[in-house]
């Protein structure tokens, strides 16, 4: 059942066959027993060496309705609760992707006289899926980890709710479930789980959709304003955009190597 | 030796019962937290650690501070501490238990705490913190019990305990260093991102821990007549004086680096603590200035022999010192780490009633443990004639 | 023996309390295997029903780790058929009657897994 056990059985059965070829060992190399099935990925799954995102903030500024379209697409599909206090977003809110002002997003860009237009824009923020993620480094249970394709994900089953990752993340990308999120979800999407009280959650770069050949929901909802692709492939959409445009990343000097880029 | 707790005076049992009541109160409120989640605290998305973790940090220091008695006794054969050393070791046990309870109280999924062992993660400082704290608890239980047993039989402690004691000396430094590393390695938290944090933690621990121990010893003298010895007390106050001096010095080093370099990120947390945010003082600002005043006054009083050796002034000096170091580490440390938040904004945090009640319950557990252990220690001393 | 008048009653009380589950249940009716609501129309589970009955928890644990941690979201069963690795979208699609399927056995065996604190039950189960 377990991966290593399966591998052990494979190796064991082959070596035993080679040495003895005995009839008694026959059953080991027969068709898999119940529960000894194997795992694979879907044929249409999308793969990359390192997923990355380029957000064209100009297109969002031109079409401000996109902000809401993008965040709603993500939050409603992923059952992200909307926690409100006195009509305002609660200080215990949960968010995977959201917008804020220029100075809140790019805290390192302390230009005294920024372009008025750029200062007025709203900017999308989400988990940066860092190459060198502090949250992964500090997690005491490997509940948050970096996948081979660069996506930083959460295993909510394992999270002990210590919130060390929230202290570690310099981007404020993580939310903690201070209360049962189900009381704050208007319409539950039955194809995706909710989370429970006491665990941390964040953006997953829609890894569950990439596995079935779909692009992330924010990318789909952005009308071309967000590009998503392999940062290691010079021919990918993201690399082409990066080659043609001046881009910024949030807090690059901290060395976490964010995978989300912004065209200003 | 455990049977010693069964024979005590009525006031002792009233004291235990009152502590038990506080524990019960804390446990009841904790049940609410368990079922409602951490929404009963004042914590938020931006200030995700608060009072619990701050108390944990402070009490790791108190636990480590037992080394200020152990080290002179065993490395320098300073005999005068022999009489009170067991009190320090037993206080460390209580402090470690308090630390562990604060960690559990802070967790969103406490029933999964064993995941830290089931999925050991050496790259996480929290994993190491759990290891060193558990180890320190075992070491102090072992050392305390074995040496007290020897004292009871009026023989020398067994030889094998010596290396264990030496190990515990290094271990004590490690627990507070690792606790500082919890904070000091996080990118983007400028108040914590400082090489001197572990040293600062140790300095603060080595003045505040012995100060608490000494205050309790002075109380013990009035209640039970147990006298730690004049010279032992004077030596300990000198240790406290040096540690407090170093503690203040280290803090000023932080202030220098932040303000002489002029780097905004390093200045902002100090600005928030001592000046407030967006032109308004935060509630913690008053506390921080009070801490500054108390730190300076208590240091001056404990630095000069005339006031240091004055038995009627000393308790007040120590109380001020403990409060000042507690505000620095038990309030300011955590708040400034999260202020400003990652978006350069200010999210105000204040512990909630539930948080404070649960914390009180946890401290009561610590007091209960220390009371029981000290009762055993003092009764053994009475029997052995080393009271 | 020292304090025998305290120790013996203490031991007796301890034994009585410790063995409580046994004598509390004597005379109760025998355990009967609960009747489960099986999915209508669907004949094949990811693994044979007998095996699933005994091992579904281990299978789910492995599924969880493979999907979430190993990025392997397709299960090839021992019969060679492929399934999406998903409690909500594969298991619960057929076994949509939570009360009469999952709960029935869990309740009579006094286990309370918290899968559904996060995983959403199919419609009509709330």
Give the model confidence (pLDDT) of A133-175 as tens digits. Answer: 999 999 999 999 999 999 999 999 999 999 999 999 999 999 9
> How confident is the model over B99-127, as pLDDT tens digits?
999 999 999 999 999 999 999 999 999 99
Per-domain residue ranges of chain B: 1-188+351-387, 190-194+237-337
DSSP H helices in A94-175: 102-105, 116-120, 134-138, 164-168
Asked whether the predicted pLDDT for residue A18 surpasses 50, the reply is no
Return mean pLDDT, chain B.
94
Q: How far is A94 from chain B (nearest CA, A)?
A: 8
| pLDDT computed for residue A13 by the predictor | 52
The predicted structure's pLDDT at residue B45: 96
Q: How many CA atoms lie within 13 A of C11 on its CB side?
A: 5
* Lookup: tokens for B335: 């708040």
pLDDT at A132 over 90: yes
- Residue A145 in contact with partner chain C when CB distance is under 8 A: yes
Q: Nearest C-alpha of chain C: how many angstroms from A59?
A: 33
Cβ burial of C2 (10 Å; 0-12, 13-18, 19+) is: exposed
Identify the pLDDT of residue A32: 63
pLDDT tens, residue by residue, C37-80: 888 888 889 999 889 999 999 999 999 999 999 999 999 998 88
Distance CA B250, CA B145 (A): 36
CA-CA distance, C86 to A176, in Å (whole number)? Answer: 24
Give the C-alpha separation, B281 to B7, whole Å: 53
- Please name the member of A33, A157, A212 whose beta carbon is closest to the beta carbon of C78: A33
C-chain residue closest to A197, CA distance: C117
How do beta strands A144-146 and A123-126 pair? unpaired
Hey, what long-range contacts does B27-30 have (CB within 8 A, 24 or more apart)?
B27/B361, B29/B354, B29/B357, B29/B358, B29/B361, B30/B105, B30/B358, B30/B361
> Which of C46, C70, C120 has its CB closest to that of A193?
C120
The percentage of residues in chain A with a pLDDT greater than 90, rounded to a whole number, is 83
Across the interface, whether the CB atoms of B186 and A167 are under 8 A apart is answered yes
Partner residues linked to A40 by β-bridges: C74
- Using alpha carbons, list the distances in angstroms from residue C3 to B376, C9, C17: 22, 11, 21
Radius of gyration from C-alpha coordinates of chain B? 21
Residue B356: count other Cβ atoms within 10 Å of its Cβ: 16
Distance from CA of C92 to the nearest CA of A (A): 10
Q: Could you give the dihedral angle defined by the CA atoms of residues A3, A6, A11 and A15, in that order, rounded to the nearest 10 degrees? A: 170
Dist CA B353 CA C107 (whole Å): 38
Among partner residues C68, C74, C118, which is closest to A40 by beta-carbon distance? C74
Query: B369 with B62: CB under 8 angstroms?
Result: no
> Which one is predicted more confidently, A33 or C13?
C13
Q: What is the pLDDT of residue B254?
A: 96
Look at chain B and count its residues.
Answer: 387
SS3 label, residue C1 = coil
Write out chain C residues lying below 8 Å of A191, CB-based. Answer: 88-89
Distance of alpha carbon A18 from alpha carbon B218, whole angstroms = 79
pLDDT tens per residue, range A54-65: 999 999 999 999
Asked whether residue A25 carries a pLDDT value surpassing 50, the answer given is no
- Contact criterion met (CB below 8 Å) for B41 and B107: no
Please provide the CATH number assigned to the domain covering A51-263: 3.30.70.20
What is the average per-residue pLDDT within B132-151? 95
Q: Is the peptide bond before B340 cis (omega within 30 degrees of 0)?
A: yes
Q: Are B187 and A255 a contacting pair at CB < 8 A?
A: yes
- The tokens for B289 are 């200035």
Residue-level pLDDT at A17: 46
| pLDDT tens-place string over residues B289-298 | 999 999 999 9
**pLDDT tens per residue, range A245-256:** 999 999 999 999
- pLDDT above 50: residue A222: yes
CA distance A27 to A38: 18
User: Span B351-367, mean pLDDT?
Assistant: 97
Q: pLDDT grade, residue B193 (50/70/90)?
A: very high
- When CB atoms are compared, the residue of A35, A191, A197 closest to C59 is A35
Residue B204 sits at the vertex; the CA angle it makes with B198 and B210, to the nearest 5 degrees, is: 130
Measure CB to CB from residue A137 to each of B43, B109, B123 and give the nearest one.
B123
By 3-state DSSP, what share of chain B in percent is helix, strand and coil, each rounded to 5?
75, 0, 25
pLDDT digits (tens, 9 = 90+) for B198-236: 999 999 999 999 999 999 999 999 999 899 989 999 999
The DSSP symbol for A24 reads G
Per domain, the residue ranges of chain A are 1-39, 51-263
User: What's the Cα-to-Cα distance from B89 to each of B66, B81, B92, B168, rounded to whole Å?
Assistant: 6, 12, 5, 10
pLDDT band at A16; cut points 50, 70, 90? very low
Task: Please indicate if any CB of chain A lies within 8 Å of the CB of C113.
Answer: no
Beta strand spans in chain B (E)? none
| pLDDT (tens digit per residue) in B271-319 | 999 998 777 788 999 999 999 999 999 999 999 999 999 989 999 999 9
Region of residue C119 (left: phi > 0; alpha: psi -120 to 50; beta: else): beta
Supply the ipTM of this predicted assembly.
0.92
Chain B CB contacts of A169 under 8 Å are 188, 342
Q: Is C114 on the interface with A (CB under 8 A)?
A: yes
Chain C 69-98, residues with CB within 8 Å of chain A CB atoms:
69-78, 82, 84-85, 88-89
């Amino acid at each position: 059942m377990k991966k290593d056990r399966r591998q052990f059985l494979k190796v064991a059965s082959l070596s035993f066959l080679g040495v003895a070829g005995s009839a008694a060992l026959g059953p080991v190399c027969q068709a898999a027993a119940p529960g000894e099935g194997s795992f694979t990925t879907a044929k249409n799954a999308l793969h990359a060496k390192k997923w990355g995102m380029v957000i064209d903030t100009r297109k969002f500024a031109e079409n401000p309705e996109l902000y809401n379209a993008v965040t709603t697409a993500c939050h409603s599909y992923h059952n992200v609760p909307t926690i409100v206090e006195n009509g305002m977003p609660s200080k215990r809110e949960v968010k995977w992707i959201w917008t804020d002002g220029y100075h809140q997003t790019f805290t390192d860009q302390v230009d005294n006289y920024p372009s008025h237009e750029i200062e007025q824009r709203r900017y999308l923020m989400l988990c940066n899926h860092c190459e060198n993620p502090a949250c992964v480094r500090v997690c005491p249970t490997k509940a948050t980890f970096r996948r081979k394709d660069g996506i930083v994900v959460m295993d909510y089953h394992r999270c002990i709710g210590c919130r060390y990752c929230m202290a570690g993340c310099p981007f404020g990308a993580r939310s903690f479930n201070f209360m049962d999120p189900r009381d704050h979800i208007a319409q539950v999407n039955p194809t995706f789980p909710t989370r429970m009280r006491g665990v941390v959650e964040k953006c997953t770069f829609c890894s569950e959709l990439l596995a079935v050949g779909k692009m992330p929901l924010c990318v789909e909802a952005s009308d071309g304003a967000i590009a998503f692709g392999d940062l290691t492939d010079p021919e990918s959409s993201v690399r082409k955009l990066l080659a043609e445009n001046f881009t910024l990343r949030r807090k690059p000097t901290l060395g976490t190597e964010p995978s989300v880029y912004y065209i200003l | 030796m455990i049977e010693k707790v069964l024979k005590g005076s009525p006031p002792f049992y009233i004291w235990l019962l009152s502590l038990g009541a506080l524990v019960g109160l804390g446990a009841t409120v904790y049940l609410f937290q368990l079922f409602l989640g951490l929404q009963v605290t004042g914590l938020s998305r931006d200030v995700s650690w608060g009072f619990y973790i701050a108390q944990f940090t402070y009490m790791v220091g108190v636990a480590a501070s037992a080394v200020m008695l152990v080290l002179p006794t065993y490395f320098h054969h300073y005999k005068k501490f022999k009489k009170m050393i067991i009190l320090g070791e037993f206080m460390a046990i209580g402090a470690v238990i308090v630390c562990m309870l604060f960690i559990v109280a802070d967790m969103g999924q406490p029933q999964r705490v064993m995941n830290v062992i089931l999925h050991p993660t050496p790259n996480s400082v929290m994993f190491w913190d759990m290891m060193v704290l558990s180890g320190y608890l075992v070491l102090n239980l072992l050392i305390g019990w074995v040496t007290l047993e020897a004292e009871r039989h009026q023989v020398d402690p067994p030889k094998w305990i010596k290396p264990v004691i030496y190990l515990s000396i290094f271990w004590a430094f490690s627990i507070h260093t690792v606790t500082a590393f919890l904070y000091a390695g996080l990118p983007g938290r400028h108040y914590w991102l400082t090489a001197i944090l572990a040293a600062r933690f140790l300095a603060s621990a080595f003045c505040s821990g012995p100060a608490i121990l000494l205050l309790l010893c002075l109380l013990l003298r009035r209640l039970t007549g147990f006298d730690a010895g004049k010279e032992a007390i004077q030596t300990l106050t000198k240790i406290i004086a040096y540690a407090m001096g170093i503690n203040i010095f280290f803090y000023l080093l932080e202030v220098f680096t932040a303000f002489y370099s002029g780097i905004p990120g390093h200045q902002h947390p100090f600005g928030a603590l001592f000046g407030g945010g967006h032109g308004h003082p935060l509630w913690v600002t008053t506390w921080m200035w009070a801490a500054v005043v108390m730190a300076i006054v208590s240091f001056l009083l404990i630095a000069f022999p005339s006031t240091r050796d004055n038995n009627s002034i000393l308790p007040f000096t120590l109380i001020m010192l403990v409060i000042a170091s507690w505000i620095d580490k038990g309030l300011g440390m955590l708040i400034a780490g999260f202020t400003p938040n990652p978006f350069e904004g200010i999210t105000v945090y204040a512990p909630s009633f539930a948080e404070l009640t649960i914390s009180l319950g946890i401290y009561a557990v610590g007091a209960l443990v220390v009371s029981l252990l000290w009762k055993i220690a003092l009764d053994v001393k009475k029997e052995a004639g080393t009271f | 023996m020292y304090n025998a008048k305290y120790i013996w009653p203490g031991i007796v009380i301890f034994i009585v309390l410790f063995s409580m589950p046994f004598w509390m249940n004597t005379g109760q009716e025998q355990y009967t295997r609960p009747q489960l609501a099986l999915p209508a129309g669907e004949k094949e589970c990811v693994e044979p029903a007998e095996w699933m009955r005994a091992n579904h928890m281990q299978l789910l644990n492995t599924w969880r780790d493979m999907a979430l941690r190993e990025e392997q979201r397709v299960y090839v069963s021992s019969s060679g058929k492929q399934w999406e690795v998903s409690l909500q979208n594969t298991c619960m699609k057929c076994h949509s009657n939570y009360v009469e399927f999952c709960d029935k056995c869990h309740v009579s065996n006094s286990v309370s897994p918290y899968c559904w604190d996060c995983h959403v039950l199919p419609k009509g189960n709330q």
